[in-house]
Structure 1
Amino acid sequence: MTSGGATAPSVRRTPHGALLAGLGVLMFSFTFPATHWALGGFGPWTTVTVRAVLAAALGGAALLAGRVRPPARRHWPALAVVGLGVVVGFPLLTTLALRTTQTSHAAVVVGALPLATAALGAAVTGSRHSRAFWIAASAGTAVVIVFTLAQSSGTPTGADLLLFASLVVCAAGYVAGGRLAGVMPGWQVISWALVASLPVTLPGAVLALRAEPVHLTALPVAGLLYLAVGSQTVGLALWYRGMALVGVARASQFQLAQPLLTLAWSWSLLGEHLSTATIPAAVAVLVCVAVTQRT
């Protein structure tokens, strides 16, 4: 089965692919703290659109420098899914949510992303995985969901609903991008998706800058630049290449560690309070990651 006309890549178990996927996750783990910083000087719509435009400038420059030819017509539908999922949808929904919730809480909710990505990837690619793989993936996701509900007294908030919606669009973008990375380098996948999104993000940035207040202080600017360069460009390039080498479902399980890393940054960089359940949840999730990689 193909997605967006892309040919299904052959998947190999390779330490190189696992390393790239892991580095991508490490860079993603700074996204919510960086968004928190950016929101201190920019509005949510400005944060989302300007980061995308800056990242598109970097990606476009790399494509021009490399004299990369445009993708085949059959690949553009999948690139559109990548753009809607990881360039616009996920950043917008999570940024709106972070206006009213802590980064540590958001990180745990988004911890369900690996299962969503693995399930959608299996449906799209027609791949099969062992029962142990799915049990471990489900258990890891259950841990982060229970942790989340405990944080919000058992009732999802409006921010939680935005975060849950972000899981769906992001999983779709990850699967489409991971498939495309089997036929073109990962950095080209995200670069073309960023450039293709400019008809939406560039006018959006102009409108947002006119409508929302801007305070150009060091921390918000640093946060916005990290979102554009680290999260939106370099991180996704590494991530898509890693997915192409080890497979969508297997690579997605690395993200079970992402909320734990973000919790560490939330505590150390933002001074957020972490509950006593954080360490047991961290151990349980990491065990599930290890099981999924072995199965």
Structure 2
Amino acid sequence: MVGFSLTLPVTRFAVPAFGAEIAGPGRSLVAVLPAAVLLIVLRRPLLPPRDCLAAVAVVALGSVVGFPLLTALALRSVPAGHAAVAIAFLPAATAVMAVLHARERLARRFWLWCAAGTLLSAGYLALDTGGGPGIGDLQLCGAVLLCALGYVAGGVLSRRTPAWQTTCWSVIVASPLVLTLVLVSGRGMPADVTPVGVLAIIYLGLGSSLIAFFCWYRALAIGGIAKVGQIPLLQPLLTMLFAALLLGERLDGWTVTTGFAVAATVLMAQRTREAPTAPDPDLP
């Protein structure tokens, strides 16, 4: 979560110099060469086999292309701290998709705590935006849905293949689409590139696109997609802290209180057990 929590504040440094297309999905191009080298050194195939290709494509679309692009676009109009709380909807979306796609069974108490965290986030957004979401909030909603799809696909695939391999494959598979998106955007080499902007792109490419996902998909595979998927509710706390430290954004009491309240819901959700499996009527 520390790696992901730095993503939004660091993206704010990269967008002015490189644009949303490069600072968003384009950052994964930085990770393509290290990912390929890692696969070659460890003697793994550069491309996924046919039975894994569909899942890798979903991971690439959601986590490598869709989420970074839409969050980078949203950060043009909303503060990083606001975006962090908006992304707190991600765990609820991940839980729903884990049930639908991964067939996970969850206790009723889990859904109560999940709903509580989601409602807290929704209330914060309604008050913070005066009750009417802007274009940035709509972009963040799209980012959440695509990212949840990527999380579930990556978590399921990482039960069969190593998490780092899933991540490397998704970066490589997404690279043609990402490169096309960057070229079509027509954004050439900007004149206002700064050392800070370059360091930001390097971190987003290696830290956010590779290393953080190595750990994340492994955790989803081990602990269950829906339950581990609630941990990003803790992300707003860290992101707001990093936004205050790195960007000088105002860390008001209402935002901090909401962050702590949402964090409490994820801790309670983690303590719930899986729902018991219904007995098979055909068995004696």
Q: Does 1:274 align with 2:219?
A: no
Q: Does 2:153 align with 1:176?
A: yes
Aligned residue among 183, 204, 208 for 1:231: 208
1:249 to 207, 216, 226: 226
**2:17 pairs with 1:64:** no
- Indicate the residue corresponding to 1:213 in structure 2: 190
1:107 aligns with 2:97: no
C-alpha distance in structure 2 between counterparts of 1:56 and 1:156, whole Å:
36
Query: Greater shift after overlay, 76-85 or 211-220?
Result: 211-220
Partner Cα separation in structure 2 for residue 204 and residue 158 of structure 1:
21
In structure 2, what residue type is equivalent to 1:204? L
- 2:168 maps to 191
d(CA) in 2 for partners of 1:67, 1:274: 47
Shift of 1:164: 0.4
Which amino acid is 1:30 matched to? L
> Does the 8 A contact of 2:19 with 2:187 survive in 1?
no
Larger RCO of the pair (alpha carbons < 8 Å, separation 6+): 1
Q: Report the Cα distance in structure 2 between the residues aligned to 1:38 and 1:266, rounded to whole angstroms.
A: 14
> What SS is found at the alignment partner of 1:204?
helix
CA contact (8 A) 2:59 2:149 kept: yes
Higher-Rg member (1/2): 2
Measure, in 2, the Cα distance between the counterparts of 1:212 and 1:106: 27
In the other structure, the counterpart of 2:127 is 150
SS in 2 for 1:68: coil
Identical counterparts, % of pairs: 37
Residue 45 of structure 1 is aligned with which of 21, 37, 44? 21
Query: Which secondary structure does the structure 2 equivalent of 1:273 belong to?
Result: coil
Q: Which residue of 2 aligns with 1:78?
A: 55
Letter paired with 2:123: V
Partner residue in 1 for 2:10: 34
Residue 130 of structure 1 corresponds to which residue in structure 2? Answer: 107
CA gap 1:55/1:287 in 2 versus in 1, 3 angstroms: same
> Cα offset for 1:268?
1.6
For the aligned residue pairs, the C-alpha RMSD in angstroms reads 1.4
Distance 1:289 1:46 in 2: 33
Between Structure 1 and Structure 2, how many residues are aligned? 271
Q: What letter is aligned with 1:157?
A: G
Deviates most, 179-188 or 204-213: 204-213
Letter paired with 1:106: A
Per-residue deviation, 1:174: 0.4
SS at match of 1:56: helix
Query: How far did residue 183 of structure 1 move?
Result: 0.5
Matched residue type, 2:13: W
Comparing 25-34 with 48-57, greater Cα deviation is found at 48-57
1:33 Cα shift?
A: 0.5
Q: What is the TM-score when the length of structure 2 is the normalising length?
A: 0.91
Contact 1:111 1:144 in 2 (8 A): yes
SS in structure 2 of the partner of residue 128 of structure 1: coil
More displaced stretch, 209-218 vs 251-260: 209-218
Displacement, 1:208? 4.7
> Partner of 1:13 in structure 2?
none
Alpha-carbon displacement from aligned partner over 1:126-148 (angstroms, at most 9, x marks no partner): 22111111100110111112112
